[in-house]
Structure 1
Amino acid sequence: MQEIILRLREEPLLLILCSSWSFDRLSQYLIQCADAAYAGQAGILRFFDPRIFPVLFSHVLDEAQQQQLLRPVLFWSWLDRDGVPKFLLGEGNAEPVNDAIEKIDLTDKQLEFLLCVSDAHQLMPRLNENEYPDVSREQLFNHSYALMVEASDQPIVLDDDRASFVLGHLKSRLSPM
């Protein structure tokens, strides 16, 4: 485990969970959680990516959908964009016998929130962090994400226009009042 953590240290892509469930049952359950849909089309919900995981719980998934990911675990843990350990407590429920779970079917708004995560992530390398000396990478991402959501609400749909919107509003959003 230490070797995996050391290899992934530069790019925090490791999401760890602690569960009392058997490995076989847990893996089957999490595979079901990844099996999602949007507008009747099958897809994979990449909940296991720590760049996406926190936003699932703050903006994307509704309470019932969140409970599906919290149910089998005692806690989830990951490193944020600054390498700071983060934790999310789970439910830690006893292992079910043969409990089928409901497929996560994303709404238009939920899909839009996920697309904003992707847009904000792609924008991050374009940001000059020296212009934001008192702001962590995680805070910078969160503000960029919030501005991407605002761009979607306006609606600003073209990638370059969305990036310009975020870049144009980010400094004022982060400057002290």
Structure 2
Amino acid sequence: MDSTKIWLDKIQHTCRQFGQGYIDIIVDQCEISVIPALSGFSPEITWCSLYEGLPEDIYREQAPLLIRIDLAEQQQVLWLYELAREVSLKAPLLVVVSCWPFSDLADWLRRCIDASHEGRPGVFRFWDTRVFPELFTDILDEAGKAQLKRPALFWSWMDRDRRPAMLEGNGAVASKETCQKIDFSDAQFEAFMCLCDAENFLSTQSLPAHIFATKEAAFSACFNAMQAATKKRILFEEERDTWVMEHLCKHQKEEVIH
């Protein structure tokens, strides 16, 4: 089963229902540089670096790119499917469907990226699909959620189990409204680090077979365990990983008994 095709076909079908003739994708170039491929389209494909205007843009080949795919251009659509398959395991695409002009959308997303932690400047890598849904359930406050939802009719990605996922946006029309800087509190930053710890744990540790029905369930449980470990001030990696593993196995046994 070609899960990538099923996902992108579903997005195209939804766009047709909206009367939407294009989609935008965010490509994380940490694993693959796509800039050389972007010069081979006729008509030209519309794209930009989301680090433009930030110090990080000196490494353009590693910057996240916003690329607009014209669904009426078969060359662009075929390339989208090929790219989505190529990056699916290491840096999956994040799709945003928006009615905003490209320049307005790019500017808004750049302002979301240009975040801070207790006033200290930093880069908010919200486009990482491994943690994108948890941003809305566990990390961002209502204002932060609204910032990311505002330009989108919807966001879409493939989850850990290779299933299409979708988050409804606000679908607001483009305006001169200023995007407010997202400033993470210490508590939000700590929770974000627990997401990273959970991702690292699952990539380096082997859970007992069949302990979780899905990869998404495993990640959710691991994230919750990391947060519990942090509250107990179990912070050193080896001790933390051991505690989390014991917590996951114990919790799962209790669920089976009940």
Shift of residue 129, structure 1, vs aligned partner: 4.8
Q: Counterpart of 1:153?
A: 231
Is 2:63 the counterpart of 1:63? no
Q: What is residue 218 of structure 2 aligned with on the other side?
A: 140
Q: TM-score with structure 2 length normalisation?
A: 0.65
The one-letter amino acid of 1:122's match is N
TM-score (norm 1): 0.94
Residue 31 of structure 1, aligned match among 104, 110, 122: 110
Asked if the contact 1:70/1:91 (under 8 Å) is kept, the reply is: yes
Q: CA deviation at 1:39?
A: 2.1
After TM superposition, the structure 1 = structure 2 runs for residues 1-40 of structure 1, keeping only pairs within 5 Å, are 1-11=80-90, 13-40=92-119
What is the CA–CA distance in structure 1 between the aligned matches of 2:124 and 2:88, rounded to whole Å?
24
Mapped contact 2:194–2:227 kept (Cα < 8 A): yes
Higher RCO (CA-CA < 8 Å; seq separation 6+) = 1
Alignment equivalent of 1:169, drawn from 239, 247, 250: 247
Q: Which residues of structure 1 form unaligned runs of 5+?
A: none
- Report the AA paired with residue 140 of structure 2: L
Confirm or deny: 8 A CA contact 2:84 2:92 kept in the other structure. Answer: no
- Structure number with bigger Rg: 2
SS in 2 for 1:131: coil
For residues 167 and 25 of structure 1, the distance between their equivalents in structure 2, rounded to whole angstroms, comes to 45
2:127 to 23, 29, 48: 48
AA in 2 matched with 1:71: R
Q: 1:133 to 1:145 in 2, by over 3 A?
A: closer
The answer on whether the counterparts of 1:12 and 1:80 sit within 8 Å (CA) in structure 2 is no
Secondary structure of 2:83's counterpart equals: helix
Q: Give me the CA root mean square deviation.
A: 1.4
Could you tell me which runs of 5 or more consecutive residues in structure 2 were left unpaired when the two chains were aligned.
Answer: 1-79
Is 1:119 equivalent to 2:233 in the alignment?
Answer: no
- Determine the C-alpha separation between the residues in 2 that align with 1:40 and 1:75: 30
Structure 2 match to 1:94 = 173
Offset at residue 102 of structure 1 (A): 1.1
Q: Which moved more, 1:128-137 or 1:103-112?
A: 128-137
